[in-house]
Chain A
Amino acid sequence: MALKNTATPSAPRRALVLGGNRIPFARSGGAYAHASNQDMLTAALEGLVARYGLQGERIGEVAAGAVLKHSRDFNLTREAVLGSSLDATTPAYDVQQACATGLETLVGLSNKIRLGQLESAIAGGVDSTSDAPIVVTDRLRRALLDLSRARTAGQKLAALGRIRPKDLAPVAPSTGEPRTHLSMGEHQALTTAQWGITREAQDELALASHQRLAAAWDAGFFDDLVTPYRGQTVDGNLRRDTSLEKLAGLKPTFGTRLDAPATMTAGNSTPLTDGASTVLLGSEEWAATRGLTPLAAVVDAEAGAVDFVHGEDGLLMAPVFAVPRLLARNGLTLADLEYVEIHEAFASTVLATLAAWESDEFGRTRLGLDGAFGTVDRARLNVHGSSLAAGHPFAATGGRIVATIAKELHLRKQRDGGTPRALVSICAAGGLGLTAILEAA
């Protein structure tokens, strides 16, 4: 037998989205008020296991994460796996990339599948704003730690003596940026003002989100994407009865201190939400042996970040830069995408992103293009609604978007043929952004 002296490099395999499951997203303090991140992630996993018959199955790897995470949840995902019906020998790890966490788990696991390191994987994310970790003040924490290290009575007294009564107050996590101390909403208000995004445009986007999400629910689109939990059977934030008039009646909550008119309201900003999502991934072979129908392939991904600390760009504008790089690498333009999913952190985030892409000057000066990057047909944008209507449990949003659009891609291909593509774009705290291309499988 002839010996091969080198292994022939093979093209990476395809990483396929085989399905997903999430629990309905609930308003903060609602149905999941007493559910922990681990509870919700386990519930989402259990629904996925049930839908795809994965009981006792050893999945290659499970990756998930939470943005607001208690230190006791250092192994959140692994603990959720152990509490699920999956085989206990299923490995797991936690990921944290702010609101991009869910999508990053998908990107990382997809790459492992493409490399042949994994045959199957589950990506996921969870967040609870109702069961958020409360911590002690930094001063109390340091004093207590010094106390524990103190050897002599004098050292102990000194450590104790540093504690002041107001150090004892508990500290809840905030959505404030550590470097700017501005909340995400305040940051977005700056971007909104910079790009001159109008209240009307924001409210219209919010209305479309609610209407499209409601239509998807009514059509049974989520029947095989969502498993109810704790009596919550649909997304708790969905407002079927909202209207432009009702949205217009809301008082602005962010940007009220700027010269520009304040336009961001509770209606066109995402509310605090609890929820969890999972996405089942696999190689072609694994899917075939399980009788699972591939919905979409994860084609490529690109992360980005902006220097918001120095006012260079808005906090949530990183995808504006990442997407052009991603599409260029894949020889695509916005016109080649049948679907564009832009996470609705705020209506104005989506609109400012589109405005930047449509700006000739921005395209030339900031994106290094000959002109504007391009326009997104609104009919292709967030076709089944997005975070404004569904809510946004930070790390769970990536899984929601991916599972939803993967199913839509699959249906579209069945209906119209071809290989429709979707862009998924998620902005995140810290000026981060993560974007990915999916295509129908």
Chain B
Amino acid sequence: MANPITTTLSAKLSGLLGFSPAVPLRRWSAGQPLVDGKVLVLGSGTGPDADADAVAALLSGSPAQPSATPDSAGTEVLDGWGLDVYRHPVPDERYAAVVLVLTGVEHPDALHEPLLAAASTLKKLARGGRVVTISRTASASDAPAVAAARQGVDAVVRTIAKESRGGATANGIVLGDGVPVTAASAVGALRFLLSTRSAFVHGQLLAVDSTAGALPADWDAPLAGRVAVVTGAARGIGAAIARTLARDGATVVAVDVPAAGEQLAAVANEVRGTALQLDITAPDAGATILEHALARHGHLDVVVHNAGITRDKLFANMTEAQWDSVIAVNIAAQLAINEALLTSGDFTDAPRIVSISSTTGLAGNRGQANYAATKGGVIGMVRATAPLLEPFGGTANAVAPGFIETEMTARMPAVTRQVARQLNSLQQGGLPVDVAEAVSFLASPQAGGVVGRTLRVCGQNVVGA
């Protein structure tokens, strides 16, 4: 927060409450190196490890000029990212990122080698460093030892996250059956988690379900040529999403209620998109959005359902109006718009739906039964909507923010707000742009294999974790 008074106040409150001061997180900006330092890639064991080799080759390979997208299902060497990659830990070396390729682990015993090797590096991990695991999903059809090892990885990632310091994050990529480490979404997820775009994504396991998706021609403009609608775009997280999608190349249709038109226009003009003043609960909202996008921009590829309201009340005291209005805006409108788009025949070019959920949608929250119903609803909605989009190479996913510094949270009582900030492993609130980065990733072609999932952007908030 730029305001020195609030910053000082926060610091004082933190001190009073016994919290350590938060480490400023680095956010993405153009021209930034993907990883600012050495990268350690560790395999599943001592023997040869094709997956780890492939990842190391990807990370260290010489960057190619933007070229034709490689076949994501293949295993050929991808255009490299030109990082300074090491395969064995050197004592006292400072690494900026540690990538653990654990796809070959078939018994908890096998975790010893890579995990302890990784552990030896963590004390000297660079500020804002990254720990990323790549593992496979544990399922009932696995051999018990395999499942045990794979499930164990998840919990280790969460633990590393809880122990991390200096703004470093730890996250895992969990590959579905038959999804190679070089799958577009595995590569896309790895790049996202290594980069500062995932600054507030912490302690999360991001599932890659399929080989769908494609690597972008330009990693800095993965949404080039795409038309994206963002609801609730006038301010806060919605405005950040509009800016981030536009930054990543998308043409943005900024939607908000007519009453928010002034700010909406400012956002639309800033991102050189178009403003559409619209009450999304109107019966023809989906048609209006589609008509606007098609007429002005020729197509519609991405819909970000960000608009939402709160009408907090203890469940026992909840009024009909409070309940109904939240349901109408936060979930019913999304369902109606999705239906209009899905049945239009004009939402078929690798379409993306990204919906904003909340940690409340995962864990519930006192006084927010209505809100929880809708934010939980979003998680269910994307899970069930994704398969409908799959035939067109499309996806539907959700992002669940934790405590984010917005105008809305700025109105919370200072102490409550400060406590809320501390309820995560990064011990600070996220910024709207952190949510926007996750949305942009899920909207991108390289996230085509992430299907029906909910990605938390919460700094590993204790709520619902």
Contact = CB atoms under 8 A, between A and B. Distances in A.
Interface of A: 43, 46-47, 49-53, 55-56, 85, 220, 222-224, 226-230, 233, 290-293
A50 B258 contact: no
A105 B296 CA distance: 26
12 contacts: A46-B269, A47-B275, A51-B268, A53-B296, A223-B258, A223-B277, A227-B262, A227-B275, A230-B262, A233-B259, A291-B298, A292-B296
B235 interface: no
Contacts of B254: 50
B272 interface: yes
Interface core residue of B265, B275, B279 (most chain A CB under 10 Å): B265
Given A46-B269, A291-B296, A291-B297, A53 B262 contact: no
B272 A55 contact: yes
A220 B258 contact: yes
B131 interface: no
B274 interface: yes
Interface string B254-286: 100011111011101100111111110010000
A223 B276 CA distance: 8
A46 B265 contact: yes
A53 B265 contact: no
B295 A50 contact: no
Contacts of A226: 258, 261
Given A53-B272, A224-B277, A226-B258, 14 more contacts: A46-B266, A50-B264, A50-B274, A50-B275, A51-B265, A52-B274, A53-B296, A220-B258, A220-B282, A222-B258, A227-B262, A227-B275, A227-B277, A230-B262
Contacts of B266: 46, 50
Contacts of B261: 47, 226-228, 233
B278 A51 contact: no
A32 to B, nearest CB: 12
Given A220-B258, A222-B258, A85 B269 contact: yes
A430 B266 CA distance: 39
B272 A56 contact: yes
Interface in B208-261: 254, 258-261
A226 B282 CA distance: 18
Nearest to B262: A228
Contacts of A53: 268, 272-274, 296-297
Contacts of A229: 262
B106 to A, nearest CB: 55
Contact of A227 (B265, B272, B297): B265
A19 to B, nearest CB: 11
A43 B261 CA distance: 11
A350 B272 CA distance: 43
A228 B272 contact: no
A258 B452 CA distance: 77
B311 to A, nearest CB: 20
A412 B293 CA distance: 23
A194 B355 CA distance: 65
Contact of B275 (A51, A56, A220, A222): A51
A291 B277 contact: no
B292 to A, nearest CB: 9
Interface core residue of A43, A223, A293 (most chain B CB under 10 Å): A223
A228 B274 contact: no
Interface residues of B, number: 24
B401 to A, nearest CB: 26
A292 B273 CA distance: 14
Contacts of A51: 265, 268, 274-277
Nearest to B264: A50
Contacts of B268: 50-51, 53, 55
The 3 closest A-B pairs by CB, nearest first: A50-B265, A50-B275, A50-B268
Interface core residue of A50, A51, A222 (most chain B CB under 10 Å): A50
Contacts of B262: 43, 47, 227-230
Given A291-B295, A292-B295, A233 B272 contact: no
A53 B279 CA distance: 20
Contacts of A56: 272
A371 to B, nearest CB: 47
B260 A228 contact: yes
A228 B265 CA distance: 9
Interface in B108-130: none
A252 to B, nearest CB: 36
Contacts of A50: 254, 264-266, 268-269, 274-275
A127 B264 CA distance: 24
A47 B258 contact: no
A332 B275 CA distance: 39
A41 to B, nearest CB: 14
B259 A228 contact: yes
Nearest to A21: B265
A78 B147 CA distance: 70
A46 B295 CA distance: 21
B295 A47 contact: no
A230 B262 CA distance: 8
B143 to A, nearest CB: 57
B313 to A, nearest CB: 26
B281 to A, nearest CB: 11
Nearest to A227: B261
A233 B272 CA distance: 23
A52 B272 CA distance: 10
Contacts of B264: 50, 227
Contacts of B269: 46, 49-50, 55, 85
Contacts of A43: 262
Nearest to B294: A291
A36 B264 CA distance: 22
A220 B278 CA distance: 8
A51 B261 CA distance: 10
A222 B279 CA distance: 12
Contacts of A292: 295-296
A233 B275 contact: no
Contacts of A291: 295-298
Nearest to B293: A291
A293 B268 CA distance: 19
Contacts of A223: 258, 277-279
A233 B297 CA distance: 28
A230 B263 CA distance: 10
Contacts of A52: 274, 296
A218 to B, nearest CB: 11
A223 B258 CA distance: 6
B275 A293 contact: no
B175 to A, nearest CB: 40
